[in-house]
Amino acid sequence: MEKHTKVLIIGSGPAGYTAGIYASRANLSPMLYEGDQPGGQLTQTTEIENFPGYPEGILGQEMMDDLRKQCERYGTEIVSRTIDKVDFSKRPFVCQDDRGDVIVAETVIICTGAKARYLGLSDEEKYRGLGVSACATCDGFFYRKRTVAVVGGGDTACEEALYLSTLASKVYMIVRKDHLRASHTLQQRVFNKENIEILFKCNATGLYGEDGVEGAHIVRHLGEEKEERFDLPLEGFFLAIGHIPATHIFRGQLDLDGEGYIRVQSPTTRTSVEGVFAAGDCADPIYRQAVSAAGTGCRAAMDAERFLVDHSDL
């Protein structure tokens, strides 16, 4: 089957749904492909307390359900399938879903998101939402006056540790090397914080606890003669070892950075291909917040609308 659309939105997190709301309200009748995790990363979290407009907080799943309904109300066609092939070499763009259906699109808005990188320990899955988190800004508040650890030694890990140090009583950084990778300024700020302690040359190999995280199993000097193992009591275990943008199908078609994030011509959402726009975490290695993703989703829909007006001869 072949379908035609003015705007194809790929992905259904806050960026995708917001793009859907704006594009449908602009009478563009967009098609939105939800992908294999409808609602995106936020459906995996519990309460969201930092999205403006919800003084009591809201469940991630509930917010995504509301955004979906808002999209449909204005005429976005939501398709519960995944786009797994795109051809951006000429306009209109030809994309294909996982059933083999072809979608011919005048513009494409990519909102495929990113996934936090985890260590791959089975305990991370066991305690997810029970002490394990990959977002200090989202979950730090639950650890006021508690002991927490941040895994990683990059900019994100330092920022997360600094943020947590204003809430938690003690923050450990678990760093596998004997140095941090973060910028000099961030490192200095971390070193100057009294309640942050860096455990260099350490790896977490597991977590323990009855109903939630009560501590982590740590190995220092892994594989070396002086290897030592110890348990570190803590209640929050934050991963900050990078993110993986979901952009593999665009490799070779769009300009991506070394980590796979889509490069956009900031402050617009234009990508290296005219008529293709990117919004949300797939193009954002820095902020990665629901509200900032929603903001870029809005901008992408407006960019697509302007592109269609400028190319109305298409």
Chain residues binding ligand NDP by CB under 6 A are 119, 151-157, 159, 176-177, 181, 241-242, 285-286
Shortest distance, position 137 Cβ to ligand NDP, whole Å: 11
111 given a catalytic annotation: no
Nearer to ligand NDP, 71 or 135 (CB): 135
* Residue with smallest beta-carbon separation from ligand NDP: 154
155 given a catalytic annotation: no
139 given a catalytic annotation: yes
Nearer to ligand NDP, 156 or 269 (CB): 156
Contact 154, 161 (CB under 8 A): no
Catalytic hit among 138, 158, 202, 282 = 138
Shortest distance, position 132 Cβ to ligand NDP, whole Å: 14
Give the span between the Cα atoms of 246 and 33, in whole angstroms: 14
Shortest distance, position 154 Cβ to ligand NDP, whole Å: 2
Shortest distance, position 239 Cβ to ligand NDP, whole Å: 9
Catalytic hit among 123, 139, 281, 284 = 139
Nearer to ligand NDP, 286 or 314 (CB): 286
- Would you please indicate which residues are annotated as catalytic (active-site) residues? 135, 138-139
